[in-house]
A and B are shown apart, each in its own frame.
Chain A
Amino acid sequence: MLVEHDDLEDGVRMIRLKGRLDLEGAEAADLKLTSLAATRQNFVIVDLDGVEFMSSIGVSVIVRVARALTSRKGKLVLLKPQPNVADVLARTQIDQLIPVFVELGAARTAVLAAT
C-alpha cells in the first residue's frame, strides 16, 4: 500500500492511497496515514482512486483517522472510490459518516466548510 501526499494551497492535505487496503495494506498504511493526518493540516482529502480493494480492516483505518481529525476540529472526506470500494463504504454505511466525492473541487469545498 503506497501512501503519498500533497499539501494544497488552501491548507488542505491530499493523501493518495494506492494498492489493496486489506489486512496487509491496512497495517502498512495505518501508521503513515495517521501521522500524515496528525500534523497541523486538519483538513484532509483521502484519494481512493488508486485503491483497488478495501475490506473492513481498511474501513477501520479510515474511521480511526477521521475520528482523530474530528476530535481536533478537523475534517476528512473521501475522493473517487472505485465502484467496489464505494460499495463497501455504502454497505458499512460509512459513507453516511464520512463524505464521499467523485470530484476534487467539491471535495475541497466540503472539507473546508464549517461543520
Chain B
Amino acid sequence: MEPGKPHTVETDAPRAETMSVSCRTFPADRTAPRAAAAWLRSTPTGLSPSRLADAELCMDELVTNVVRHAWADGDPGPRSVTLRIDRVGAEVEITVEDAGRPFDPTTAPIAPIAQSLEDALPGGRGLLLVRSIAPRVAYQRSNGVNRTTIAFRADGSATG
C-alpha cells in the first residue's frame, strides 16, 4: 500500500475484528482541534510516540477543516464533530464525523506547491499533510454525515 495514497473503504470487504476504543463529541468551534488532541493523547491507543504524533496532526487538520468549512454562515446547528478511535486488527482507526456539507478529503484538490513566497497561498496545506502522512485515508458519506477515517499501524511499523 502506497503511504498517503487515498482510497475509499469498500463497505462489503471483510474487515478484521473491530474493537471500539473511545468516542467523543466536541462542539465544532475553535477549541475543538486542541480538545480533540488532548483526548487522543489521553486515550490508550497502542500507537508508538511517532505514530501518535502523526495521528494527532492528521486529526487536527481534519477537525480544523470541519470547524472552518463544514457549515456556511447561517446554516442551522447543531455544529459538532464526533471522533471515534477503533482498533481494527493491527491498525488504529480514527474517524472524524460531521453533519456538515459534503466534503471528501480524499479527492478534494490540494493547493499547488508554491514556487515563490509571492505565489504562496495563505492556506490549503492541511489536506496535503493528511494525505502525505496518514498511511490510509478513507471517506464515506451516508445519512447526511461525512465520515473520514485515517488509519495507522498500532505497532509503529510502516504499512506495506
- Interface residues of chain A, those whose CB is within 8 Å of chain B, are 20, 22-25, 27, 53, 55-57, 59-60, 63-64, 66-67, 70, 84, 88, 91-94, 97-98
Contact = CB atoms under 8 A, between A and B. Distances in A.
30 contacts: A23-B32, A23-B33, A23-B34, A23-B68, A24-B34, A25-B34, A53-B56, A53-B57, A55-B57, A55-B60, A55-B61, A55-B64, A55-B129, A56-B124, A56-B125, A57-B64, A57-B123, A57-B126, A59-B125, A60-B122, A60-B125, A64-B122, A67-B120, A70-B117, A84-B57, A91-B128, A91-B129, A91-B132, A92-B125, A98-B117
A59 B37 CA distance: 18
Contacts of A20: 34
Contacts of B126: 55-57
Contacts, number: 75
Contacts of B57: 53, 55, 84, 88
A52 to B, nearest CB: 10
Interface in B42-98: 53, 56-57, 60-61, 64, 67-68
Contacts of B19: none
Would you call the interface of chain A mostly helix, strand, loop, or mixed?
helix
Would you call the interface of chain B mostly helix, strand, loop, or mixed?
helix
Interface in B86-127: 113-114, 116-118, 120, 122-126
Nearest to B67: A23
